[in-house]
């Protein structure tokens, strides 16, 4: 059994649901220290490790946490595929990447391979909306020239050129309770207000760069009482900041107009979750990727995404960072899997990036 696979199988057996990463964090820190790296943590619990080398300083990043479905994982290796029996997710998102990074570091140390300065960042609470990386300590990354976040579904060899910004709206409609049989006309239905607002909104696919969604609609109560309170959660995201702002303003207008129409109130809390970015594909980060893929005879593809990742925060902080696919399929489901060839390709890519002799 190859080293990356064994490490991967060990990691997915360690429960690390978002918010409960202490065990895996200690495991990984011990492993990194044993390889001769120094480590630090920030106030959010993100783990940093350092291996001095020569030339540029390159960041490799992945997240330690998993979705709740990847709990008590029992991985199965059948033929060339790693998956589960179908009761849990696998946790290849994002432990495949961590395994590839650890194997690369072990190879560098064992074979005394030359390498640039390497910084490893393993984040927490990524699956909760980038909460861990939001507490990033940029002083601990002050020497980084560019970075790679290994955290995207699909075959190894695809690299993200742009990603969206995202805003969320937490909304509360306040109406007036009344008996639904005796005096419904004296009530103001929070459910009706919210429903009218939703029906007037542009939602789901807005255009090729923009989406919007209602994530939840909660209005508990008795069927014979006019509901006086409803809470909803919305999000919008776009590659274009102007389009994102326009979509959010449109949604807020729909909410306010629905409340006014029925004589109720609406409370709206808005939060920017992360900023959009668009990378220069002629930059050294992409040049190194193209060269690495050519050397490894891997396919090379560039594309934008409408998914957010830790790279959104890193890029917003001025650290040019590319998201790289990590070989896994169907994350966050009981059908999640990774092919052994993809695990091998991922490890080869990380090693190629981490051991180039000199900057291109």
C-alpha distances (whole Å) from 160 to each of 127, 152, 210, 219, 305 are 19, 9, 17, 39, 7
Active site residue 72: no
In the set 126, 228, 235, 352, the catalytic residue is: 126
Handedness of CA 303, 134, 70, 35 (dihedral sign): positive
Q: Helix, strand or coil for residue 107?
A: helix
Helices marked H in the chain: 3-12, 22-34, 92-111, 190-199, 241-262, 284-296, 310-316, 340-354
Q: Which of 21, 65, 336, 352 is catalytic?
A: 65
**Residue 240 is a catalytic residue:** no
- The DSSP element (H or E) to which 277 belongs, if any, is strand 277-278
Query: In Å, how far are 25, 165, 213, 271, 282 from 309, measured between CA atoms?
Result: 20, 10, 18, 17, 22
* Structure tokens, 83: 């998956």
Question: Distance between CA 344 and CA 222 in Å, rounded?
Answer: 56
Cis amide leading into 94 (omega within 30): yes
Q: What does the alpha-carbon distance between residue 347 and residue 4 come to, in Å, rounded to a whole number?
A: 7
Tokens of 303: 């594309």
Give the residue numbers marked as catalytic: 65, 126
């Amino acid at each position: 059994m190859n080293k990356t696979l064994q490490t991967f199988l060990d990691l997915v057996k360690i429960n690390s649901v978002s918010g409960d990463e202490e065990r895996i964090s200690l495991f990984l820190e011990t492993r990194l220290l044993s390889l001769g790296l120094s480590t630090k943590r920030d106030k959010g619990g993100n783990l940093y490790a350092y291996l001095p080398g020569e030339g540029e300083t390159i960041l490799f990043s992945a997240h330690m946490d998993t979705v709740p479905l990847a709990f008590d994982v029992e991985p199965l290796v059948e033929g060339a595929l790693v998956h589960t029996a179908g009761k849990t997710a696998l946790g290849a998102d994002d432990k495949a990447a961590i395994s590839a990074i650890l194997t690369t570091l072990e190879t560098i140390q064992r074979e005394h391979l030359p390498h640039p300065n390497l910084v490893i960042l393993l984040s927490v609470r990524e699956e909760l909306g980038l909460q861990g990386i939001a507490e990033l300590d940029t002083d601990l990354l002050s020497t980084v020239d560019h970075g790679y976040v290994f955290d995207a579904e699909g075959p190894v060899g695809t690299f993200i050129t742009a990603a969206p910004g995202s805003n969320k709206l937490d909304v509360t409609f306040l109406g007036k309770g009344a008996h639904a049989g005796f005096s419904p006309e004296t009530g103001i239905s929070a459910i009706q207000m919210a429903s009218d607002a939703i029906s007037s909104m542009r939602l789901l696919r807005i255009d090729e760069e923009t989406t919007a969604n209602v994530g939840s609609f909660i209005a508990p109560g008795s069927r014979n009482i006019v509901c006086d309170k409803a809470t909803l959660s919305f999000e919008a995201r776009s590659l274009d900041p102007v389009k994102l702002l326009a979509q959010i303003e449109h949604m807020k207008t729909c909410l306010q107009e629905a409340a006014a129409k029925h004589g109720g109130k609406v409370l709206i809390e808005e939060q920017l979750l992360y900023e959009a970015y668009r990378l220069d594909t002629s930059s050294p980060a992409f040049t190194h990727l193209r060269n690495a893929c050519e050397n490894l005879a891997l396919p090379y593809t560039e594309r934008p995404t409408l998914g957010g990742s830790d790279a959104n925060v890193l890029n917003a902080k001025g650290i040019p960072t590319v998201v790289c696919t990590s070989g896994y399929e169907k994350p966050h489901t009981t059908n999640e899997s990774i092919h052994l060839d993809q695990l091998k390709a991922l490890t080869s890519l990380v090693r190629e990036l981490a051991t180039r002799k000199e900057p291109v």
